[in-house]
């Protein structure tokens, strides 16, 4: 039997991160409920199936290769080169702990896409996409921002001072950019848009289930943000309080915007308001006040509604509004950070505007890399695998 650990700090840190990992896993349940509840009944099971399949694929691939690319010894700040699947075992319990926690993050990034492309992307093409997100797209950008976490050289973006505490950009924007590339590549669902007419509203199959999903997302975010300290510090309470207030700000502003345009409490705006608020505070939750967290969340809810409407106008069909809720909010939260952060806590030694420059660089690099590589992936993939089901299959939900 292994020797009993001393009750030192590192042990408590381990338990904390594992607790958080379990909560981040709850976000998989959140995505499943949210997406299966939001789409049409006929497609609910396809959506649910994709959620579970992408989890299995993302974790496997991240275990085998992705984790190494993201957190292995850095090759000049660009890519990790150790900690491949069969090397993790022997690297000690802290590395394994980080692997569990981060594999949940990777699965989150992959799952974001499934909602946007719901109801018309075939199962094979979708799981193929999830594989590449976990294999390359997520880990490479992750390395640039977070590499060096387990020691050794930092990723190049992180070493410049880019701050993204728990992944507004690293997780949510990456997922959102791939989702955007995907919906542009495969086009809207049949019957969604016709020129000269307002978009056809597709009935959500089970809104209470979607609402339950939103609650699971909030719960999961306790772990997503809370665990990202990777240590038990005195910041944890404010991090969690900011997370809750970000969600609450997003719910309220999303609801009010919905009320304003539609004269009733729109469920999807409340749900996506919660997510938008959560994503927005994720970058900076460790260095902002409760008031700032509420404000970031509230603004994020407004941006989410405006973007949703803009996407509709542009005939870009995002079945669950993943792009407004994850991509736009991720950009917002990352760029807002320098202006709301307590610089003494941030401790980067940069002025607000210099920090903003770095944040902007990170956001742009994320867009170029994630959207670009996903776009390339879809251009290549479509030569040998259909990215879209046939019209009959779409009609009869044989996805």
| Contacts of a copy of itself in 243-302 (CB under 8 A) | 244-245, 247-249, 251-252, 255, 264-265, 267, 270-271, 274, 289-291, 294
x/- letters, 170..209, toward a copy of itself (CB under 8 A):
------------------------------------xxxx
**Do 333 and 283 meet the contact criterion of CB atoms below 8 Å apart?**
yes
Count residues contacting a copy of itself (CB under 8 A)? 95
Closest CA to 93 of 228, 155, 166, 3: 3
Total residues found in the chain within this entry: 399
> Restricting to residues 42-71, which ones interact with a copy of itself according to CB under 8 A?
44-45, 47-49, 51-53, 55-57, 59-60, 63
**Do 283 and 166 meet the contact criterion of CB atoms below 8 Å apart?**
yes
Q: Is 325 in the site for a copy of itself (CB under 8 A)?
A: no
In whole angstroms, what is the distance from residue 193 CA to residue 201 CA?
9
Closest CA to 225 of 271, 180, 277, 269: 277
**Do 166 and 27 meet the contact criterion of CB atoms below 8 Å apart?**
no
Q: Look up tokens 């870009």; give the residue.
A: 316
Q: Is 84 in the site for a copy of itself (CB under 8 A)?
A: no
Q: Which is nearer to a copy of itself, 173 or 284 (CB)?
A: 284
- The helix/strand/coil state of 74 is strand
Q: Look up tokens 């509604």; give the residue.
A: 305
Q: What angle do CA 36, 54, 157 make, to 5 degrees?
A: 115
Q: Which is nearer to a copy of itself, 196 or 203 (CB)?
A: 203
> Restricting to residues 86-125, which ones interact with a copy of itself according to CB under 8 A?
86, 88-89, 93-94, 96-97, 99-100, 103, 123
> Restricting to residues 3-32, which ones interact with a copy of itself according to CB under 8 A?
3-5, 7-9, 11-12, 14-16, 18-19, 21-23, 25-26, 28-29, 32
Q: Is 337 in the site for a copy of itself (CB under 8 A)?
A: no
Q: Is 385 in the site for a copy of itself (CB under 8 A)?
A: no
Q: Is 219 in the site for a copy of itself (CB under 8 A)?
A: yes
Q: Is 351 in the site for a copy of itself (CB under 8 A)?
A: no
Q: Which is nearer to a copy of itself, 33 or 331 (CB)?
A: 33
Q: What angle do CA 360, 108, 46 make, to 5 degrees?
A: 130
CA within 13 Å, CB half, 207: 11
Q: Is 145 in the site for a copy of itself (CB under 8 A)?
A: no
């Amino acid at each position: 039997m292994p020797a009993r650990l001393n009750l030192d700090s590192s042990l408590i840190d381990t338990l904390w991160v594992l607790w958080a990992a379990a909560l981040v896993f709850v976000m998989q349940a959140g995505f499943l409920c949210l997406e299966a509840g939001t789409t049409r009944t006929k497609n609910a099971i396809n959506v649910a199936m994709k959620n579970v399949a992408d989890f299995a694929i993302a974790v496997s691939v991240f275990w085998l290769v992705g984790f190494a690319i993201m957190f292995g010894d850095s090759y000049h700040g660009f890519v990790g080169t150790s900690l491949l699947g069969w090397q993790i075992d022997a690297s000690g319990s802290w590395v394994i702990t980080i692997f569990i926690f981060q594999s949940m993050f990777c699965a989150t990034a992959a799952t974001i896409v499934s909602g946007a492309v719901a109801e018309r992307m075939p199962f094979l093409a979708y799981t193929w996409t999830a594989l590449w997100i976990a294999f390359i797209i997520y880990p490479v950008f992750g390395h640039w921002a977070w590499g060096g976490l387990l020691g050794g050289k930092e990723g190049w973006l992180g070493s410049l001072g880019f701050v993204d505490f728990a992944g507004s950009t690293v997780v949510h924007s990456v997922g959102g950019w791939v989702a955007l590339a995907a919906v542009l590549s495969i086009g809207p669902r049949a019957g969604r848009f016709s020129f000269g007419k307002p978009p056809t509203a597709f009935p959500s199959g089970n809104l209470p289930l979607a609402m339950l999903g939103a609650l699971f997302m909030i719960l999961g975010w306790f772990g997503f943000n809370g665990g990202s300290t990777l240590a038990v510090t005195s910041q944890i309470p404010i991090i969690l309080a900011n997370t809750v207030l970000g969600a609450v700000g997003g719910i309220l502003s999303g609801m009010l915007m919905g009320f304003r345009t539609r004269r009733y409490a729109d469920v999807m705006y409340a749900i996506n308001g919660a997510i938008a608020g959560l994503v927005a505070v994720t970058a900076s939750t460790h260095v902002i006040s409760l008031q700032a967290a509420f404000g970031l969340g509230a603004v994020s809810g407004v941006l989410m509604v405006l973007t949703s409407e803009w996407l509709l106008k542009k005939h870009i069909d995002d079945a669950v509004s993943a792009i407004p809720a994850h991509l736009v909010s991720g950009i917002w939260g990352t760029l807002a950070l320098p202006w709301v952060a307590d610089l003494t806590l941030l401790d980067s030694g940069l002025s607000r505007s210099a920090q903003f420059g770095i944040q902007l660089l990170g956001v742009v690099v994320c867009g170029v890399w994630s959207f670009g590589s996903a776009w390339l992936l879809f251009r290549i993939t479509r030569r040998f695998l259909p990215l879209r089901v046939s019209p009959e299959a779409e009609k009869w939900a044989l996805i």
